[in-house]
A and B are shown apart, each in its own frame.
Chain A
Amino acid sequence: GAVVSQHPSRVICKSGTSVKIECRSLDFQATTMFWYRQFPKQSLMLMATSNEGSKATYEQGVEKDKFLINHASLTLSTLTVTSAHPEDSSFYICSVSSGRENTGELFFGEGSRLTVL
């Protein structure tokens, strides 16, 4: 499967600051990447679909101005949490589609745990 790398794996920031998380597809050119968020003991929730060279598609209830997604190349997508608040503390995970048509098979990065103080 695809190798997906995320950075940073952990980040602690003060309330009101912005945090950028990088997701790299190391061995696969990914036109589409997905960003998920997982709160403790909860399911993974899809936040947005990142499309190379175009705007991201956000799921209902996810603020696009707060969670900025940039997918400038086939190997890199970034998620910026702007003006972070304690309620944004979560485990953010990016994923890459295998590319098998209409299968939804995903390979996940290691995840980034954000703690907002």
Chain B
Amino acid sequence: QKEVEQNSGPLSVPEGAIASLNCTYSDRGSQSFFWYRQYSGKSPELIMFIYSNGDKEDGRFTAQLNKASQYVSLLIRDSQPSDSATYLCAVNKGGSEKLVFGKGTKLTVNP
């Protein structure tokens, strides 16, 4: 089992819709969970992080964490074409500062 798994997509949604991105992880010792956005040819940029079970909202983005199910998700409301990118889920390894990344889900928002 891979440490961090994501559906590679591509995920395609129309402009204005909700995009739902999912991620599962294997290390139960992980404490911090991150969503990064990566445009083609660029380095990742942090969108959100979450530490506690439940939902965390920041503007159009909502991160959801369920440690019992080892599952973390990202919802993007009112999706915009500029949201088109690859979204990387990352989990800190054994509670350390090291991050383990999933392969990413490519999202396309169609105008």
B: contact size bracket: 20 to 34
| Complexed CA–CA distance, A116 and B107 (Å) | 30
Interface residues of A in 38-72 (CB under 8 A from B): 41-46, 49
A-B contact count (CB 8 A): 64
Between A44, A102, A104, the greatest number of chain B beta carbons within 10 A of the residue's beta carbon is seen for A104
A99 → B minimal CB distance (Å): 9
User: Given the known A-B contacts A43-B88, A44-B88, are A104 and B99 also in contact in the complex, defined by CB atoms under 8 Å?
Assistant: yes
CA distance A113 to B104 in the complex (A): 19
Check B102–A43 contact: CB distance below 8 A: yes
Residues of A near B92 (CB, < 8 A) are: 102-104
Output the nearest chain A residue to B33 by Cβ-Cβ distance.
A104
Closest A-chain residue to B51, C-beta based?
A: A103
Chain B residues within an 8 Å CB radius of A32:
97
Q: A1-B46, A44-B44, A105-B34 are in contact. Are A49 and B98 (CB under 8 A)?
A: yes
Ranked nearest first, the 7 interchain pairs of A and B with the lowest CB-CB distance are A104-B92, A111-B43, A108-B43, A44-B101, A43-B103, A43-B101, A104-B32
* Residues of chain A at the chain B interface (Cβ within 8 Å): 1, 32, 34, 41-46, 49, 91, 93, 97, 102-111, 113
